[in-house]
Structure 1
Amino acid sequence: MDTLVIEPGIGIGDIKLGMSKYEFEECIEAYTVKYQKKAHDPDYFNYVFRVEYDTLGKIIFIEIPSGMITTEFNCVFSGINVFNIKAEELVETIDRIAEYDRDHPELGYTYFFPEIGLSLWRSSVFKDGDKEEEWFKELCVENQEDELRFLYFESVSITAETRV
């Protein structure tokens, strides 16, 4: 399995902040040629890398989801596979590098590290202690498994804008 390096202020893998749409499309084509599988949608890597552009047409935001991409890549920030470590542990680890915004309106779901322009997101909050709660024990096995996935983040993103 290959490694996709997450570098705040720089890029994720070969997709870099400041790239033009044309440069982005060239990178997507290169990923497609190298990693495309028969089971993949032809636009697979367009779904894997979500980008936003500024008014000059340069990339200012890059996001990757955990689901599809983890079958191809280890997604690594500072030596840590961000989709293979529990959310609470990942936040604590990155917080030692750069503090997260403790006043973020979606705290628990979103952790934004403004000094480095890195965000972590999950659609629901679940903690290890929740496994002992009655509401969790009353769920069927399939629903318990669904809840357990929220122990981990679902996406990571970087932005060109940082705040100190």
Structure 2
Amino acid sequence: MVVLNIEAGRGIGDVKLGMTKEEVIQCILKYEAEYHRPEHMKNYFKNSFKVKYNSEGKVKLIEIPSELKEDFQCMFMNIDVFNTKAEKLVALLDEISKYDRDDTELDTCFTFPELGLILWRPDVLKEEDLEKEWFKELKPSIQEDTKKNLYFSSVAIIPRPSHSEH
């Protein structure tokens, strides 16, 4: 499987912080040309790379969804971010650089400022929840969908404090 590198405070794959909209479009077109598959929706890669720009028209945030794990191994510092359970991923990254413990969305959103990294999931699910009665009472299809919350749903790259753009 092709590796999509997530670089601390720098970028995701070919899309980098500080790029212009035109440069991002060229990167997306390259992904479409190289990795498009018949089962992909129209604009699959355009919709997969969510990009925000600053007032100067330069990229200030790049976010990708976990669905990209079907096409790429999404790696941050040799860790597969979408195939590593959320609790383990947070613990591993917290050893490298502490997450922002003042974040009001703790458990669903973790920001690692010094890494320029944000991890997000819509709801919290822990391994022990799989044995609880409320989980067992769910329909099997709902259980499978709920199990996705053991992992993060998206990862975003932002400038690190020492490299932030104004």
Which band: TM-score by shorter chain? over 0.9
TM score, norm. by length of structure 1 = 0.95
Alpha-carbon separation, structure 1, partners of 2:14 and 2:141: 37
Alpha-carbon separation, structure 1, partners of 2:93 and 2:5: 15
* Alignment partner of 1:45 is 2:23: no
Partner of 2:77: 78
SS at match of 2:100: coil
Aligned counterparts, 1:10-159, within 5 A = 10-67=10-67, 69-159=68-158
Question: Which contiguous aligned blocks of 4+ residues in structure 1 show a shift greater than 4 angstroms?
Answer: none
Which letter does structure 2 place at the counterpart of 1:80? I
CA deviations 1:89-129 (Å, max 9, x no partner) are: 00000001110111211100001111121010000100001
Alpha-carbon separation, structure 2, partners of 1:43 and 1:142: 28
Partner of 2:159: 160
Alpha-carbon separation, structure 1, partners of 2:80 and 2:117: 15
Q: Which runs of 5+ in 1 are unaligned?
A: none
CA deviations 1:1-41 (Å, max 9, x no partner) are: 10000002211000000000010011111111101122223
TM score, norm. by length of structure 2 = 0.94
1:161 Cα deviation after fit: 4.6
Alpha-carbon separation, structure 2, partners of 1:128 and 1:22: 43
Q: How many pairs align?
A: 162
Partner of 1:3: 3
Which letter does structure 1 place at the counterpart of 2:90? V
SS at match of 1:157: strand
SS at match of 2:114: coil
The structure with more helix, counted as a fraction of residues? 2
Which letter does structure 1 place at the counterpart of 2:43? D
CA RMSD of aligned residues (A): 1.1
Could you tell me whether the CA contact under 8 Å between 1:60 and 1:161 is conserved in 2? no
